[in-house]
Amino acid sequence: MPIERQPFQQIGPLVAADGADRQPFHGTHLPLGSSARDLSDPRPDANRWSANTGFLWPHLPFCDRIRAAAAAGFDAVEFHDEAQRTDPAVLHAALRDAALPVLSLNVAMGATGGRAAMRGAEDDARRDVDAALALADGIGTRAVHVLAGRTGDPDLGQFVRVLRHAAGSTDRTILIEPLCSAAAPGYALPTLDLAIRVQDDVGAPNLRILFDYYHIETAHGGAADLFRRHRARIGHVQIASVPARTAPAAATHAFIDACRRAGWTAPFGCEYRPEGPDIRPPGRS
């Protein structure tokens, strides 16, 4: 069955929840791992890869996934919400063994994939943010991804308020990610245009978009052009093949090359389902 794509359309800002006038996003916050002191690589033209522990090794205990990422040659790791269910001492030991930076982690996801836009859940969503930020502080995570949640009745004004709370509580990067309806039906942030609308209304320089090639290409098509157009808004990039969501194929590598030509130097998050037991960063053996 063919995928029905939604053409990207820039749409106007949300009405600010506090009645204030919000200026369009003008970000100066660096993408994850992009500064000269972060993840330095003696090969200036080399891509760098962050292992998404939730996708690459779902069969392993969480801390063993972190060690597996290091053994496989990845440059960094990123989590869903597994770390919040792990004994801190055990987690610190695994991170010490792996000696890899943690690029990002999610707030608590639960059965609904977050709840920041779920009507009536604002207090709980703020507590989720506070807990994730405390964990990020404890393990040196660069960013926290605040998930909107799957709901038939999203409250985007509430989502904006939760994001303002998150962005105002830390100097770390706060991420929001559009998830395509084909993979996450009912998710309250299904398109890039809506994510931009939310980002503009929040008006915080440390709020960035997590640009997942699989979701953007599936929802809109033309992911490379959209990346170039909105490069300044983006804080992290994830990759997978389309439509299988397996290891990067030719079209994904073309997108990666386009990102590099547009000036992207930060690691690419590997959020895909491996097709075999030998899991390595793309292009490395």
Q: Give the three-state DSSP class for 277.
A: coil
Residues annotated catalytic, as ranges? 177, 271
Q: What is the mean pLDDT of residues 43-66?
A: 91
Selected from 3.40.50.720, 3.40.50.460, 3.30.420.10, 3.20.20.150, the CATH number assigned to the domain covering 49-270 reads: 3.20.20.150
Q: Give the three-state DSSP class for 266.
A: coil
Instruction: Please determine, for residue 119, whether its predicted confidence score (pLDDT) is greater than 70.
Output: yes
Token output for 82: 């597994």
pLDDT score recorded for residue 107: 98
Mean pLDDT lowest among 36-45, 70-79, 120-129, 266-275: 36-45
State pLDDT tens for residues 76-108: 999 999 999 999 999 999 999 999 999 999 999
Pairing state between β 268-270 and 207-212 = unpaired
Residues 62/82, Cβ–Cβ less than 8 Å:
yes
Q: Mean pLDDT across the chain, nearest whole number?
A: 89
Instruction: Please determine, for residue 115, whether its predicted confidence score (pLDDT) is greater than 90.
Output: yes
> What's the helix, strand, coil split of the chain in %, to 5?
35, 15, 50
pLDDT score recorded for residue 19: 40
Residue 29 pLDDT level (bands cut at 50, 70, 90): low
Mean pLDDT lowest among 56-60, 212-216, 275-279: 275-279
- CA distances in angstroms from 236 to 31, 34, 123, 177, 272, listed in the order given: 6, 10, 27, 10, 15
- CA distances in angstroms from 153 to 21, 49, 101, 157, 201, listed in the order given: 25, 36, 37, 12, 20
What is the torsional sign of CA 35, 39, 45, 51?
A: negative
Among the listed residues 110, 181, 169, 89, the one whose alpha carbon sits nearest the alpha carbon of residue 137:
169
What is the torsional sign of CA 98, 101, 103, 104?
A: positive
Percent of the residues in the chain that have a pLDDT greater than 70, as a whole number: 84
- Following DSSP, what letter does each residue of 95-163 receive, concatenated? HHHHT--EEEEEPP-GGGTB-TTBTT-HHHHHHHHHHHHHHHHHHT-SEEEPPB-B-SSB-HHHHHHHH
d(CA 51, CA 68): 9
State pLDDT tens for residues 193-214: 999 999 999 999 999 999 999 9
Among the listed residues 272, 273, 176, 264, the one whose alpha carbon sits nearest the alpha carbon of residue 227:
264
Residue 221 pLDDT level (bands cut at 50, 70, 90): very high
Instruction: Please determine, for residue 24, whether its predicted confidence score (pLDDT) is greater than 80.
Output: no
Amino acid at 185: P
Please report, in angstroms and rounded to a whole number, the separation of the first and last CA atoms in the chain. Answer: 35
pLDDT score recorded for residue 1: 43
Q: How far is CA 165 from the centre of its chain?
A: 18
State pLDDT tens for residues 141-183: 999 999 999 999 999 999 999 999 999 999 999 999 999 999 9
Q: How far is CA 132 from the centre of its chain?
A: 14
Instruction: Please determine, for residue 127, whether its predicted confidence score (pLDDT) is greater than 80.
Output: yes
